[in-house]
Structure 1
């Protein structure tokens, strides 16, 4: 299997064996400069099959990238482009070695497939240390990649591999439970859809049923073709794992969620304001909570993968890695910690900052008034608004802005809620509207029509960890269900994911309180993904019937406002934002 060749101004080793201590052998492709010497390494490790061309496995992504961002593919033959990992033709000429490893049980690597498990993370640690002692390696290892390849950077960095020198996680989740699988305790079906399409289909042993790597002529999923029932026994049942493990304290989630405070390596965390329900919260939490003394946060826009491949996006990462892997004095260490692309209805502006949340934030509380369905600066007289608990709910409208204003930072809401049943799911959507009444929708990571931000909470999961909670970011324990007494009023503190928006004069904010996922109600046909039309939430839907039975979650939900029930939303207003 292992073979070496020289092509396209690189030495390429295919299927290099990396033995694990339990006897399992992982396989890696190594792309390195032709010239003699020792070079720093950029590594990725994951289940998407290192030999699967983006053009084949992710053709719609490839078409959009090449159409809308031609610079992203202009400096390469693109023969070695694989989904969400570095293109070696854009890194090897600059004196880097690129290594792609198929994780255990995926692609060309043998073993039992169990995504993001402790075993998989230990394998990654072993691969880093293996690469550090090879004859062509400088001993300095950096990690980069998108999504899955970002998530496991935080996991392995928390284990402190001795030769890991820098990481650049691009749009990932850091807390499997809170960021992706169970928003506010409510099961999201995203990974249940993702697993069979992007992982099971290229499991090691799929052989002839999997695509061919055009660069080698070999199957991307191993030389043998095993029966589907055999492969089923060699992988974890992810649906069962996520449906049956309902609390954040379950071992399934604890094993897969790193202690961010244990990360000490230099980090450039790159997040997307449009990564709602998957790739946004994690990049910010990791930046804030990591133990690294050398860390930066860059927040951008556009599609999930775009700024990883664009000329400017690569240049940013190269400066970071040149500094920490090559010891170049290129000024990176003097860069402000935050590099923000701030959203406007008509585009973006760039600004650097020094802390998160911004120190000059004017934390502004807007109170809900159920009588007028408005948001105001004062708590009004007592009132209440009821809606069917599995409906699109009610919307509270803020006043038109008298002058341009900015909201950048974490958001939270305090709602007083009663239910006609023993439980209720609350879906919050922070929205913006223009003077013409048309909603401002942004191109998100995977949905082209995102609102400003989302928040979620299952009422029975309202218990807070007071030591970890902050006024602008409540922290729910998610270790038990505290059911409701029908008709009684309960205080719910709800995290709304961080956001950034600059609204011109005449625009207004709104908060929708609902019992189901947001729907922008734009005319069809709508863009779709995996056969699912996207209504503003992409494919991050909370639509698993067994998790939300109608007899429990299908009653009436009532929002209480004013008087002893001052329901409100806390907004991070940035004064003098244009200075």
Structure 2
């Protein structure tokens, strides 16, 4: 099995296919635009936006100081303090914190382009290594421990007391760092005024670790392995006072005691299992800190993706539950929003200008500037298929009705319930069933989301397909499925996929849901947060094993989506018992056979949240910064079109012209290159049309020649230059991305 890297390290080292590229614009259709034809010419991106009271950059460069802050228990937390260069004496700045369990920065790494963006606009940036990780001392006993959260509050208090600080602190982060950003509100530090959590988990159990109560085996195993490799490997920036790296060496030794998350997860079946030294997964989930977060009254600008694990669901739970002011944004994104993963994206789609949205939010809440942003709650969401952004202040959205479709004879999905008293379908679980290697779950460790045509894969599943739709149909919300089933085993996993079948028979993945059978009880207890789907507690007291051969109801919500399915297409529900690409086999042994009942006494059906045409014209004003740029998974962009929001034009933004090289000229470039920044290699091979580059643990990516030694990529804004010695031998390559140059030595 491939070993995957923590997203933060991956992004720091190579290419934004790793899924965390916060500096990149993200693509979607303008609200007022009609969908473009698949081969339509891309519209050039407009100039960077100027929101109300926007102020242009004041500072060109930045300085960095690395130091230790000693916490209440003696643990030393490593931080980078990044300030605008030539800051006038007496100038006081708001501060943006980013806290990570990955490396806050790598040794020798210059100030990042995204950090310079903020310092250029008059902000300080403080990067923090979580205790027990990076250059910080101590151990990491679990994700987001109580001590870790307290540390961030102490760091915020320290920041507010500095001579260069105006006393206002915010936080931004993606993935693990997204959760830490949200949790910065928990200590109720008076200095904390705003947080921007991106692509994070609101409920760690259901959103990523155990969706539907089923172990996300692939994610947990690879994340754990990569964390341990990162925690024990030199490469993180030592503090300035640690010239001989002795303090760093001692910190790395202590990290050897960090928890084995994979081993711990395999002992968990229920959300109240206390595997982490008497602590359950719930104890470090964001929702568990609801009272503290609400007491803080800190405004939240949270982001998620319809195609990114359960992050969209997390944003919606936060939006529906927390009383804090919230500016919530859900796109058709992969993890980190480096890709518009809508299967319907056209070559001309707008970009959400992320950096300017973050700056706009911070300008309001950390500087007190009127940037024309909302003071209460608003949700911006993207409807796939329609390729359009929309706004709402309620969820479910106004005008939502429930459309019920029944599993029926002949594998049909029918409007009318079954009329006969008998009817059932038998299905032997196929443990080779898969959603592929580029699905919504695997993107959590980096990479795009790409579900191929599922027509062939559906032959492995139990499917029910509707008649052609008589009109365009918008599905926005949480579908809910009810299955009347019997099994030959006492436990099992039920996966349900909602799909779009076009006139030619192409099958497009829309969303999915899953539930482990022992968790099927619908609890009558009060749920810990708001959600429009049936509440399964996943607690030990509510476990309900199946009785072999006896009918049982399996009812659960699918992950939310927003999609417009076109007239003439058909809807499909596909039922499976396993997804080998991600999840643990349930049950671990045996060959279960299930019977799905579909008759007048035992109805199986799906309920779809359908939004009427009239309701699409929301009365909520649209106030999201967008610009037109080509879709990441469509035609490659020109330099001007792909330029990131908030970035000045660089060499990477110019229009790139591919040339064809004699294959013989590629031979000296082929080989294995060792990156100096960590235990990683880039393997360069010859493909059908040129060179192919593969970073350790990541999918291969084709490179396109600009010269005999310069290559660029079409799936990501990065370039590679090969270096030669005095004898003309290739010795190194240099990766250029987002203002960074990373060198790798040829070792093979």
Distance (whole Å) between structure 2 residues aligned to residue 217 and residue 389 of structure 1: 60
Q: 1:358 aligns with which of 397, 404, 424?
A: 397
The match for 1:167 among 182, 195, 199 is: 195
Matching of residues 28-39 of structure 1 within 5 Å: 28-33=79-84, 34-36=87-89, 37-39=91-93
Structure with bigger gyration radius: 2
- The superposition leaves residues 86-145 of structure 1 with CA deviations (integer Å, 9 ceiling, x where unpaired) of 821111111111111000111111111232222222222222222222221121111111
- In the alignment, which of 494, 497, 510 is matched to residue 559 of structure 2? 497
- Structure 2 unaligned spans of 5+: 1-58, 274-278, 341-350, 432-459, 618-748
Matches within 5 A, 1:144-293: 144-189=172-217, 190-197=219-226, 199-203=227-231, 206=232, 209-211=233-235, 224-225=248-249, 233-250=256-273, 251-258=279-286, 259=288, 261-262=290-291, 263-264=293-294, 265-276=298-309, 278-292=310-324
Residues 290 and 578 (structure 1 numbering): CA distance in 2 closer, same or farther, change over 3 Å? closer
Q: 1:221 and 1:247, CA in 2 relative to 1: closer, same or farther beyond 3 A?
A: farther
Match of 2:40 in 1: none
1:375 aligns with 2:437: no
Q: What is aligned with 1:332?
A: 373
Shift of 1:338: 1.6
Say what the alpha-carbon RMSD is for the aligned residues. 2.9
- Among 592, 600, 617, the alignment partner of 1:563 is 600
Query: How far is 1:172 from its partner?
Result: 0.8
Inter-partner Cα distance in structure 2 for 1:291 and 1:335: 9
Q: CA deviation at 1:280?
A: 2.4
1:50 aligns with 2:50: no
Cα-to-partner distance string for 1:446-482 (whole Å, 9 max, x where unaligned): xxxxx21111111111122235468941121111232
TM-score computed with the length of structure 2 as normaliser: 0.63
1:548 CA drift (Å): 3.4
Structure 1: 5+ residue stretches without partners: 1-6, 57-77, 441-450, 519-538
Partner Cα distance (1:153, 1:227) in 2: 24
Corresponding residue of 2:429: 389
Q: How many pairs align? A: 499
CA contact (8 A) 1:408 1:574 kept: yes
Is the 1:389–1:424 Cα contact (8 Å) retained in structure 2? Answer: no
Structure 2 CA distance for partners of 1:573 and 1:220, relative to 1, 3 Å: farther
Structure 2 residue aligned with 1:73: none
Alignment of 1:510 with 2:547, yes or no, is no
Which residue number in structure 2 is paired with residue 464 of structure 1? 522
Assess if the C-alpha contact under 8 Å between 1:38 and 1:136 holds in 2.
yes
Alpha-carbon distance between aligned partners in 1 of 2:234 and 2:222, rounded to the nearest angstrom: 19
Instruction: Give 1:35 shift.
Output: 2.9
* Counterpart contact for 2:137–2:254, Cα < 8 Å: no
CA distance in 1, matches of 2:427, 2:250: 52
Post-superposition shift, 1:168?
Answer: 1.0
Partners of 1:103 and 1:113 lie apart in 2 by 8
Equivalent residue for 1:418?
A: 486
Would the aligned equivalents of 2:171 and 2:195 in 1 still touch at CA under 8 Å? yes
- Residue 9 in structure 1 maps to residue 61 in structure 2: yes
Q: CA deviation at 1:163?
A: 2.0
Are residue 479 (structure 1) and residue 539 (structure 2) matched? yes
For 2:352 and 2:245, the matched residues in 1 are separated by 31
SS at match of 1:283: helix
Distance change (3 Å), C-alpha of 1:282 and 1:388: same
Distance, in Å, in 1 between the alignment partners of 2:110 and 2:428 is 53
Q: Distance in 1 between matches of 2:376 and 2:255?
A: 49
| TM-score scaled by length of structure 1 | 0.80
| Contact in 2 for aligned 1:411/1:472 (Cα 8 Å) | no
Deviation of 1:214 (Å) = 11
